[in-house]
Structure 1
Amino acid sequence: MSGRRGAGRRPPRVLPLYPASVSQADPVQPDDNAPPPGLRLLYAIGRLDRGITRELQQGLKPLGLSPHQYATLTVLRARSGLSNAQLARRAYVTPQAMIQVLSSLHADGLISRSPSGDNQRVLEISLTARGREVVERCDRIADEIEDRMLDGVPPGERRALLDAVRACVQRINAGLPGG
């Protein structure tokens, strides 16, 4: 035994997102427009998520924001006065990661923090006027990404897609607000 922790152990088995009938020797390339036979919805949604995240990162970069910061601003716009822990739960990050997100947003003057009326040790976070302006600019960037992504999809199908995604999210308790 080498003394290294975990030495000699097999790596955990990774289950494929698409059926075994798809050749593992012929992985999907980023520029390959043809989906592999038997493409799983999970795989397609995962690729879409990564693509959206990449587009948001690029679009928000001129504003000096990350997708997590944008998500935090949108949560605060919908519900002001949340604590760090509440925000972390709603933005799907750890409380430690949320501290970093909030510190940068506060340093940029996009949020304010004030002691809670119930517990002076808890800080309630709210958008500043500048924060509201910036989140509106971010929304325009997100709208452009959505418009590009859904180009050619009729409005009724867009609504059906949103409804289906919301239903899926609800079934796995992923917390997307209703519409």
Structure 2
Amino acid sequence: MTTTANPLALESQVCFALSVAARSVISAYRPVLEPVGLTHPQYLVMLALWEHGALSVRRLSELLALEPATVSPLLKRLEALGYVTRERSSRDERVLEVALTESGRELRSYAETIPGTMMQRLGMDADELRELHATMTKLIAAARPAD
């Protein structure tokens, strides 16, 4: 077996591996989320709301590292599914607040089964996933532009 030192080899590019991994993992979530009508981005919104409670669209966007214009259509679809409400803040009508409905809160019990299901689907245990998460967090921090 010969090894070439090609710095442009596709298989050796971190960006390529991350891109394929992201698509593959999101695809693995699809059949787990379909029974409750969620897409992966909508699931991320729900995770933030289950963890933090009601949030402004701006704060939700910050937590998800997405632009508010990207989050708004997700919220509209979640509202149509009956999982969230969107209302103007009584303190500042410029602020749009997002809150879980009773149905959205009840969905959490199903969601609590998802991490275990995904560990099985990915063939990884909790320690491996924690290590991967730590590496990815380090990579994200390194790739973020300096303020």
Normalised to the residue count of structure 2, the TM-score between the two structures is 0.75
Q: Which of residues 123, 127, 130 is equivalent to 2:96?
A: 123
Aligned to 1:170: 141
Aligned to 1:77: 50
Instruction: Quote the Cα distance in structure 1 between the aligned partners of 2:112 and 2:15.
Output: 26
Q: CA deviation at 1:74?
A: 0.7
Instruction: Quote the Cα distance in structure 1 between the aligned partners of 2:23 and 2:68.
Output: 23
Instruction: Quote the Cα distance in structure 2 between the aligned partners of 1:128 and 1:114.
Output: 12
**Residues 86 and 96 in structure 2, CA contact (< 8 A), matched pair in contact too:** yes
Q: 1:101 to 1:156 in 2, by over 3 A?
A: closer
Instruction: Work out whether 1:19 is the aligned partner of 2:11.
Output: no
* Structure number having the greater helix percentage: 2
Q: 1:149 to 1:81 in 2, by over 3 A?
A: same
Q: Which of residues 79, 84, 93 is equivalent to 1:111?
A: 84
Q: Which of residues 7, 14, 28 is equivalent to 1:41?
A: 14
Q: CA deviation at 1:67?
A: 0.8
Q: CA deviation at 1:142?
A: 4.2
Q: Which of residues 107, 115, 119 is equivalent to 1:134?
A: 107
Question: Which consecutive segments of 4 or more residues in structure 1 shift more than 6 A?
Answer: none
SS for the counterpart of 1:125 is strand
How many residues were matched structurally? 140
Instruction: Quote the Cα distance in structure 2 between the aligned partners of 1:57 and 1:156.
Output: 23
**Identity rate, percent:** 24
Instruction: Quote the Cα distance in structure 1 between the aligned partners of 2:34 and 2:20.
Output: 21
Q: CA deviation at 1:117?
A: 3.7
Normalised to the residue count of structure 1, the TM-score between the two structures is 0.64
Instruction: Quote the Cα distance in structure 2 between the aligned partners of 1:101 and 1:161.
Output: 27
The AA in structure 1 aligned to 2:46 is L
Q: 1:100 to 1:162 in 2, by over 3 A?
A: closer
The AA in structure 1 aligned to 2:89 is S
The AA in structure 1 aligned to 2:137 is R
Structure 2: which 5+ runs fail to align?
Answer: 1-5
SS for the counterpart of 1:124 is strand
**Residues 109 and 130 in structure 1, CA contact (< 8 A), matched pair in contact too:** yes
CA RMSD, 1 decimal:
2.7
